């Protein structure tokens, strides 16, 4: 399956569809994964240094990367230089990566409207709201599906694609950071496993599409 659709290898679409179907058919997967972090009274990672570090790190990391990129872009414009190759196209790409997938799709479209209760809010884990399987619209007025923090963290994949050298290392760091943020959210009862997995796929696919649209070439990843 080396064929690509909008710069995304076909197997990524297939994998997303298959995994999504599994979460729908076997919703107990979400309950089981969350139960691994629940001791009967509370979610074990909630309030820990690990959880708080990764939870609160996302916003400053993204703001720093964006402002740093903007500063270099302005500097390049004023001095007529190409420091780090930060051109108008690169800035457009960065804006799309940081705003559309994690912002417009995940937060504004899904999270604000889907209604899925967070794990800690469900009766299964001591809350008062009903559990709803992934991809099923809910009337529980929750904000679990999908994960905004995970989507924002995984958006670092977009920056990794800009690396010409050591791109694999940059991608490893970007995905690793997203995984740790996702573990922190699941372990604190803030999201189900399907929430963070869905956010990853949305960001991964959207980011590669933006790369193709803006730079008119494949990312080769």
Q: Which residues pair with 133 in a beta bridge?
A: none
Contacts of 56-60 with C-beta under 8 Å, sequence gap 24+, read 57/181, 58/149, 58/152, 58/153, 58/181, 59/152
CA–CA distance, 149 with 57 (Å, rounded to integer): 10
Phi, psi angles (nearest 5°) of residue 69: -65, -40
Q: Which helix (H) or strand (E) holds 52?
A: helix 49-79
Within 13 Å and on the Cβ side, how many CA atoms surround 16?
18
pLDDT in tens, 150-198: 999 999 999 999 998 899 999 999 999 999 999 999 999 999 999 999 9
When pLDDT is averaged across residues 99-114 and rounded to a whole number, the result is 96
The DSSP-derived string for 2-42 is --EETTEEHHHHHHHHHHHHHHHH-THHHHHHHHTTB-SSS
Find all residues with CB under 8 Å of 81, minimum gap 6, and list them.
Answer: 75
pLDDT of residue 2: 65
Mean pLDDT for the chain? 95
> Is 1's pLDDT higher than 50?
no
Q: Using the 8-state DSSP alphabet, how is residue 104 labeled? A: I
162 contacts 90 by C-beta, under 8 angstroms:
yes
């Amino acid at each position: 399956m080396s064929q690509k659709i909008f710069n995304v290898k076909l197997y990524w679409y297939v994998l997303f569809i298959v995994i999504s179907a599994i979460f729908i058919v076997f919703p107990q997967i979400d309950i089981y994964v969350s139960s691994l972090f629940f001791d009967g009274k509370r979610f074990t990672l909630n309030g820990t240094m690990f959880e708080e570090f990764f939870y609160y790190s996302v916003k400053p990391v993204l703001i720093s990367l964006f402002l740093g990129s903007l500063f270099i872009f302005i500097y390049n414009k004023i001095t007529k230089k190409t420091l780090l190759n930060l051109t108008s196209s690169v800035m457009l790409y960065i804006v799309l990566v940081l705003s559309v997938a994690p912002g417009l799709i995940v937060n504004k479209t899904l999270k604000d409207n889907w209604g899925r209760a967070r794990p800690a809010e469900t009766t299964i884990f001591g809350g008062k709201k009903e559990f709803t399987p992934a991809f099923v619209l809910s009337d529980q007025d929750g904000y679990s599906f999908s994960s905004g923090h995970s989507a924002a963290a995984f958006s670092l994949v977009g920056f990794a694609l800009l690396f010409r050298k050591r791109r694999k290392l940059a991608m490893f760091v970007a995905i690793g950071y997203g995984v740790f943020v996702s573990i922190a959210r699941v372990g604190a009862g803030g999201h189900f496993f399907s929430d963070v997995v869905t956010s990853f796929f949305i960001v991964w696919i959207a980011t590669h599409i933006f790369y193709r649209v803006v730079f008119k070439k494949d990312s080769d990843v």
